[in-house]
């Protein structure tokens, strides 16, 4: 697989505190990579190392197949969790200034700003000062400034902070389009539903150590327990429950349904077939709901972090 960024064996200490302990991640080109972890896990430290804001004590970061160089900052767009716009400057004036710092000519900056301001319907903000904007409005401006120079690697740290659901969905779709147009994205967030919707790959850092790493689908597959949610209207409920309890691990299930069914959670043994279970259930009543329980990223996050507390 063609990788844009590789961080190998990164360690960082601040005095007696270990922020990162031999952490490695690999981000494939044109993918969205979720960097997850509780507060204080080491995510921001790793992001700051990739941005060359701080340097690792040991380990190496490679961008495009070669060790990261100071000039590579022009290839990276960074939207930090703590926003950094100048509140007393006008939106257009500030956007032009920051675009020039990223190496764009004035003409290039104006052309791209016009495109993005029209796309996000914020053209009328050009002469407003940042302090006149809401948090979400300022976030839109900073998003544009982050992607304006068309960086190879875009780092979003909590990009949906301050957005209402409509604008969060708008920016989510823009992030997906950036990926589809060729950008590689490192995405750090506490919103697990965003990881489900956006990320192709993920890594989980906890207490300075990497605990999980890989394709999101592969990680979810590894955490499956061969459990199924069942909604059934049985002909003989007592007989069904007796037979199920003799052969499977059975519990109550909780899901919304418009039918008044018996709701069960049934765990199969590895060698047992879901088709055989479904065939058996159909022979005992009317099955209205039969769904395999796939763990969410949020479930995996909580289980992994609490197991390694």
Distance from C-alpha of 172 to C-alpha of 169, rounded to nearest angstrom: 5
Q: Which tokens hold the place of 166? A: 């409509």
Distance from C-alpha of 307 to C-alpha of 145, rounded to nearest angstrom: 40
Residue 1: band (very low, low, confident or very high) from pLDDT cuts 50, 70, 90: low
3-class DSSP assignment, residue 183:
coil
Same fold, 3-221 and 225-293: no
Strand partners, 20: 12
Q: H helices of the chain, where?
A: 43-50, 91-101, 106-119, 135-147, 165-180, 192-198, 216-222, 237-247, 274-282, 297-307
Distance from C-alpha of 244 to C-alpha of 157, rounded to nearest angstrom: 47
Residue spans per domain, the chain: 3-221, 225-293
Q: Which CATH number fits domain 3-221: 3.40.640.10, 3.40.960.10, 3.30.390.50, 3.40.50.300?
A: 3.40.50.300
The answer to which of 74-88, 113-127, 152-166, 289-303 has the lowest mean pLDDT is 74-88
pLDDT tens-place string over residues 231-289: 999 999 999 999 999 999 999 999 888 888 999 999 998 889 999 999 999 999 999 99
Say how many C-beta atoms besides its own lie within 10 A of residue 235's C-beta.
11
- Give the predicted TM-score (pTM) of the model: 0.88
Contact 27, 33 (CB under 8 A): yes
- Side-chain-facing half-sphere of 259: CA atoms under 13 Å: 12
Q: Which CATH number fits domain 225-293: 3.30.870, 1.10.3470, 3.40.50, 3.30.70?
A: 3.30.70
Element (H, E) at 64: none
């Amino acid at each position: 697989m063609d990788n844009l960024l590789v961080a190998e064996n990164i360690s960082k200490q601040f005095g007696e505190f270990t922020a990162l302990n031999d952490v490695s991640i690999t981000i494939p080109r044109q993918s969205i990579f979720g960097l997850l972890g509780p507060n204080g896990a080491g995510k921001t430290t790793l992001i700051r190392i990739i941005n060359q804001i701080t340097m690792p004590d040991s380990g190496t970061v490679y961008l495009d197949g070669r060790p990261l160089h100071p000039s590579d900052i022009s290839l990276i767009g960074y939207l930090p969790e703590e926003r950094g716009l100048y509140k007393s400057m006008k939106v257009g004036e500030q956007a032009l200034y920051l675009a020039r710092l990223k190496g764009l000519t004035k003409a290039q900056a104006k052309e791209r700003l016009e495109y993005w301001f029209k796309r996000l319907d914020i053209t009328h903000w050009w002469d407003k000062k940042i302090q006149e904007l809401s948090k979400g409005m300022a976030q839109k401006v900073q998003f544009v400034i982050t992607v304006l120079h068309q960086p190879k690697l875009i780092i979003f740290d909590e990009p949906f902070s301050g957005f209402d659901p409509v604008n969060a969905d708008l920016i989510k779709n823009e992030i997906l389009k950036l990926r589809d147009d060729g950008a590689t994205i490192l995405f750090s967030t506490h919103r697990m539903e965003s990881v489900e919707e956006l990320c192709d790959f993920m890594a989980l850092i906890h207490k300075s150590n990497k605990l999980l790493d890989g394709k999101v689908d592969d990680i979810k597959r590894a955490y499956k327990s061969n459990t199924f949610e069942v909604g059934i209207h049985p002909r003989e409920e007592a007989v069904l429950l007796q037979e199920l309890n003799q052969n499977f691990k059975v519990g109550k299930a909780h899901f919304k349904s418009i039918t008044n069914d018996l709701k069960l959670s049934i765990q199969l043994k590895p060698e047992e077939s879901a088709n055989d279970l479904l065939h058996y259930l159909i022979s005992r009543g009317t099955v209205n709901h039969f769904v395999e329980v796939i763990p969410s990223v949020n479930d995996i996050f909580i289980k992994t972090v609490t197991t390694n507390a």
